[in-house]
Amino acid sequence: MNAIPRVLLIDGSADTEAVVRAVLEPRGMRVARTRSHGAETHSTDTAPDVVVLDLDEIATSTEDTWSETHQVLLGSTRVEVCQPHVRFLEKPFQFPELIQVLEDLLSASRAA
- 91: helix, strand or coil: coil
Query: Which residue ranges form the domains of the chain, and what is each CATH number?
Result: 6-111 (3.40.50.2300)
* Strands in the chain per DSSP E: 6-10, 30-34, 50-54, 70-75, 86-90
Arithmetic mean of pLDDT over the chain: 85
The confidence band for 63, taking pLDDT boundaries of 50, 70 and 90, is low
The pLDDT of residue 65 is 75
Own/partner contacts of 19-26, CB < 8 Å, gap of 24 or more, are 19/95, 19/98, 19/99, 20/52, 20/98, 20/99, 20/102, 23/99, 24/99, 24/102
Q: In this prediction, what percent of the chain has a pLDDT beyond 90?
A: 58
Q: In this prediction, what percent of the chain has a pLDDT beyond 70?
A: 83
Does residue 11 have a pLDDT over 60? yes
108 or 2, which is more confident:
108
Own/partner contacts of 60-64, CB < 8 Å, gap of 24 or more, are 60/36, 62/10, 62/36
Does residue 44 have a pLDDT over 70? no
